[in-house]
Amino acid sequence: MKKSIAWIVLLAIIVFGGLFLTRGPVDQAAKDSGSVKPIRIGVIEPLSGGAASIGEPGKNGFSLAIEEINAAGGIAGRKVEVVYEDSKCSGKDALTAAQKLISADGVQYLVGALCSSEVLAALPLTEGKPMVFFGQGSSPEITGKGKYFFRTWPSDALVGKSLADFIVPKYKRIAVITEKTDYSLALEKTFIADAKALGGNIVADETFAGDTKDFRSYLSKIRLANPDVVFINPQTGQNASAIAKQARDLGIDAQFVVSYFTGDEFVKSGSFVNGTIIVDNPALDMARPIVAQYVEKYKAKFGSMNYPFVGAQMYDYLHLLKTAIEKAGDDPEKVRTYLKSMKGYEGLIGNFSFDQNGDVKGIGFSFKKIEGNALVDLK
C-alpha cells in the first residue's frame, strides 16, 4: 500500500513538474509573438463639435502609424491596439473618456487631448497610475504639472510672445476677444503681457462664454475703441469665423489676427476672413522623403489634408513611443527617462526633443495670410 502511494506521488511530481517546466517557455513564446499581450493605447480627441475639424486629422494620422507599425510586426514584436474616445474639446468629457480607457479598456498609454482643458482634466489620472501621456494641449498652465506628460505642441507662452513680436511693431492699438476656455484664456494672458512689455496699447479686452453665437455686444465695444488690429482668440475655427463676419458687418475694418485656424472651416468660410494673419505651427517639409511619403499615404486614404501638423504630430507620437519602448522597455519610468534624455528625434514635424517638463524643444512657428480664401506664407 505504501509503495502504491509513493508511486502515485512520484508520478504526480513528474507530471506537474513537466507542466511547470514547459509552461514558462510556451507563455514567453506567445508573449514574444504578440498573441498574449498587445500594447494597448487610448486616444482621446474631439471627434464631434466645433473642434472636430482639428481632432479628426489627429485620429487619421495616428491610424496610419498603427497600420504601418502593425504591418511591420508591431512594437518589440507585439501588436498595437487602440481605443478611440470622443473628448469633445471638454475637460468633463475628456475625464470620463480617460477613466473608461484606463479602468475598463486597460490601456497602457494615453495619447491626444487636443484641447488644453482635456489635458488638465486627464493629467491626474495618468500621473497617479503612472502612465506616459503624449498630449497636444498648448496652455502654459500644463507646464510642470505632469511627470509623465510630453507634448510636441509648443506652449502658448511662446505663441503669445511670437504674436506680440509680430503685431506690436506694426499695430499700436490692439483689441482682443477671447473665449472662456483654458486654452484661449491662457493665450490671452501671455499675449497681453508680452504686447504691453513691447509698448503695445490694449484698447479693448473682451471675453465670452463658449456657447455664445451672437458676438455683437462684445464687438460693439471693440468698434468704439477704434483698434488697428483685433486678435480673435476663440477655441475653434467656427467661432473665429463667426466673430470675423459679425465684426465686418459692424464696420470694424481693423487687421484680424488668429492662431492656428488654417482649416477650411475658417479659411474658406467667406470673404470676411481674407487678409487675416495666422500664427501657425511649421509647415511639413515636403522635400524630406518621409514627409512626402506620409502625405501621399494620407491623401490616398483620407482625401484632402486639413491641419497637416496635427495628423503628423499624432503619427510621430506612435513612432516615438515605438522607439522608446524598443530602446528602453515597456515601463513608464523607463520610457519617461528615455524621452527626457533623448537628444533629438527626426519626426514628420521636424527634429525635436523635450525639456525636463516634457515641453517640446525645436518646434517653432510660421505666419500665414489668407488671400482669396487660400493660405499664403508670410516671410
Q: How confident is the model at residue 9 (pLDDT cuts 50, 70, 90)?
A: very low
Query: Percent helix, strand and coil across the chain, each rounded to 5?
Result: 50, 20, 30
Q: How confident is the model at residue 200 (pLDDT cuts 50, 70, 90)?
A: very high
Domain 39-153+285-361 shares a fold with domain 157-280: yes
The model's pTM: 0.84
In the chain, where the domains are located: 39-153+285-361, 157-280
User: Which residues face 86 on adjacent strands?
Assistant: 45
User: Which residues face 256 on adjacent strands?
Assistant: 230
198 with 165: CB under 8 angstroms? yes
**Helix or strand run (H / E) with residue 203:** strand 201-208
Q: Which of 135, 142, 131 is nearest to 113 (CA)?
A: 135
Q: Is 157-280 in CATH node 3.40.50.2300?
A: yes
Q: How confident is the model at residue 35 (pLDDT cuts 50, 70, 90)?
A: low
Query: ∠ CA(105), CA(110), CA(112), 5° rounding?
Result: 120
- Strand-by-strand arrangement of the 345-347 sheet: 345-347, 350-354, 360-361
What is the reported pLDDT for 50?
Answer: 87
The stretch 166-171 carries a mean pLDDT of: 95
Does residue 293 have a pLDDT over 50? yes
User: Which residues face 158 on adjacent strands?
Assistant: none
Rounded to the nearest integer, the mean pLDDT of the chain is 91
CA gap 254, 276 in Å, rounded: 10
What is the reported pLDDT for 197?
Answer: 97
Does residue 12 have a pLDDT over 60? no
- In one-letter notation, the amino acid at residue 54 is I
Give tens-digit pLDDT for 102-156: 999 999 999 999 999 999 999 999 999 999 999 999 999 999 999 999 999 999 9
39-153+285-361 CATH: 3.40.50.2300
Residue 282 CA to chain centroid, in angstroms? 15
Backbone angles phi, psi at 143, to 5 degrees: -55, 125
Q: Which of 25-29, 159-163, 199-203, 324-328 has the lowest mean pLDDT?
A: 25-29
223 with 14: CB under 8 angstroms? no
What is the reported pLDDT for 292?
Answer: 97
Does residue 247 have a pLDDT over 60? yes
Does residue 65 have a pLDDT over 50? yes
Residue 282: asked if its preceding bond is cis (omega within 30°), the reply is no
